[in-house]
Amino acid sequence: MCFASFSASADESEAAAGQVEIHVETDATSDASETTPIVGWIELNGMLRESPVPFAWVAESDAGPSLQSLLDQIAAVRDGEEHKGLVLFLDQPELSLTQCTAIADALIELRATGKTVMTFAEAYDLRDYIIASAADMVLLQQKGSVELMGIAVEEMYLAGMLEKIGVKPDLLQVGKYKGADETLMRSEPSEAWDENFDALLDGLYEQSISRIAEGRGMTREEVESLMADSWTLTDQELLARRAVDQVVDRDLIEVTEVSFGEYFEWDTELGLYATTMDTSNPFAMFSVLFAEPTVQTDRPTLAVIHADGPIMSGDSSYGDGLFSEESIGSRTLVYALEDALYDENIMGVVLRLDSPGGSALASEVIWQAVRDVAAEKPVFAVVGSMAASGGYYIVSGADQIYVQPHSILGSIGVVGGKITLGGLYDWAGVSITRRSRGPGGDLFNSVEPFTTEQRVTVRKALQVVYDQFIDRVEIGRGDRLPDVSTVAEGRLFVGTTSIENGMADRLGGLDQALADLAEQIGLDEGEYDVVNLPGPMSLNEYLNSLFGVSSPAVAMDSDLPAFMGAAKQLLGPVAWRNISRSMQGMMLLQDEPVLMMMPTAIVVK
């Protein structure tokens, strides 16, 4: 869980900061107390949420910080006249590359106001260092380390294992570079997938190197030389190589006094205040728990719709943090888009999406809803870590697409088929008697692969969906992407390249998209509200989803959660989130024969 320290006093901030000792001595008789400057302090560890808290009875402050709340804190320092600067303590955060880029961009905006930004850490890895490179000063704990390892990806190919247990995937795909069938059907990558994925990794690496070089005032060669040596260097050698600006004690006094003066106060709240439920009054408590949340607008408003996870038909889910993660349900998204369309006070919509793709049908249903809104009101899309396959299908319907440099876009292609278990049945001594009636009744039987005739039929169906995908992208992007074929066939691109080739429009995150949308509509700052759709789920709705009718879930053996927990611990929360999303998406083959899925989970090590 990601944690940011929020405390009102200097003593409390010292405790919340773990072992970091923050001491500020002030002279009570000094006139300086009337004009004492304020310095922001943020402690960052663990993961950051990407979406608002989905439950009405859970306060934002109780759910742990989100990326947006962190950016709001940085903005509070930027806009606060009394704030002189910010110290960001990077205490082993678990962040994606796109989150690091968004934080770094916010620090650059803060520095542009003339205020001082420092980062402090016991150890920096590549992702931490992308953030730190945006600061005025990179501070390292004495005897700390900087470990700037390059980007590495390990891909698993399961054909050999599946063959041993008698399982035979029978998948087809449309898109030369798609690669969606390779994990299950090959023991090594194809030449096309090698070409596609290597180009993507080149882009991710280039973005990382260029940001560090620009931020630290180094050449590319100097950055790569530092990466090769960093993990073998002492703190003083790191200082000599300009990897860090100062090696410091944990109290930071020697640095903060120079930059901020002898007398200043820490602000550890930065505009975020914890709210707690009154548990002493049971009637008040139950009133809060079972209240039906409503999203009301009474003046010009911009709506933000969050869509995270694989795309499925039905309702969105919010994950259990172990096996299942968030999912994008077409019904939930369509209702949210309709609410935005029919609310006269909502002047425009920002769709923030982070998805590897999923159901082809659900992607089309959501795309249609996006276009319905865009016909009446402007719709901007913001891509998080990725908008791949069905994810890009959806955002292509927006008027403008915003990306981060490390965002992954593309994978325009489809995959479909089935996984046959005939060999496994034989091994286990299971006999299957098949019965069917009518054409195609036995098409997706679990015992045998497709016949030659059946494969022709399946491929025709996939081609229809692929052609529809191309058509939807052409409609949405128009003249900005005159020849979709140059980016189709399953190709993958980083955010900066997607702007160059016409798949996206500009760099930026949610705040930038909201500001541009308001400007386009003609709304000045302070003249409009921002609401999140759909609104949070009430406790009553949540209980109904648990014990009533809900979206399909994966049945797990009682021993499986322990295994999943161990896997998550071993891989780390960010890696596990990406892997479990891909697993969820591929499991859709149980219910839908045609998918638009990113073929592999990308984990940056």
- The residues carrying an active-site annotation are 178, 389
The C-alpha atoms of residue 382 and residue 398 are separated, in whole angstroms, by 10
φ, ψ for residue 382 (rounded to 5)?
-120, 125
Closest CA to 383 of 179, 597, 102: 102
Radius of gyration of the chain (CA): 26
φ, ψ for residue 515 (rounded to 5)?
-65, -45
How long is the chain?
Answer: 605
Instruction: Taking the CA atoms of 109, 308, 544 and 337 in sequence, report the sign of the dihedral they define.
Output: positive
Question: Are 385 and 307 in contact, with CB atoms under 8 Å apart?
Answer: no
The C-alpha atoms of residue 534 and residue 335 are separated, in whole angstroms, by 8
Question: Are 302 and 520 in contact, with CB atoms under 8 Å apart?
Answer: no
Beta-strand relationship, 346-355 and 357-359: unpaired
φ, ψ for residue 565 (rounded to 5)?
-65, -40
Tokens for 35?
A: 């004009």
Q: Write the CB contacts of 524 (distance below 8 Å, at least 6 apart in sequence).
A: 518
Q: Is 31 exposed, middle or buried (0-12, 13-18, 19+ CB in 10 A)?
A: exposed
465: helix, strand or coil? helix
Q: How many Cα atoms within 13 Å fall on the side-chain side of residue 370?
A: 33
Angle at 204 between CA 203 and CA 205, to 5 degrees: 90
Q: Which own/partner pairs from 219-226 qualify as long-range (CB within 8 Å, at least 24 positions apart)?
A: 226/148
Q: Write the CB contacts of 450 (distance below 8 Å, at least 6 apart in sequence).
A: 170, 417, 418, 443, 458
Residue where the block lists tokens 């046959």: 420
* DSSP-assigned states of every residue in 401-447: EEE-TT-EEE---EEEEEEE-HHHHHHHT--------STTTTTT-SS
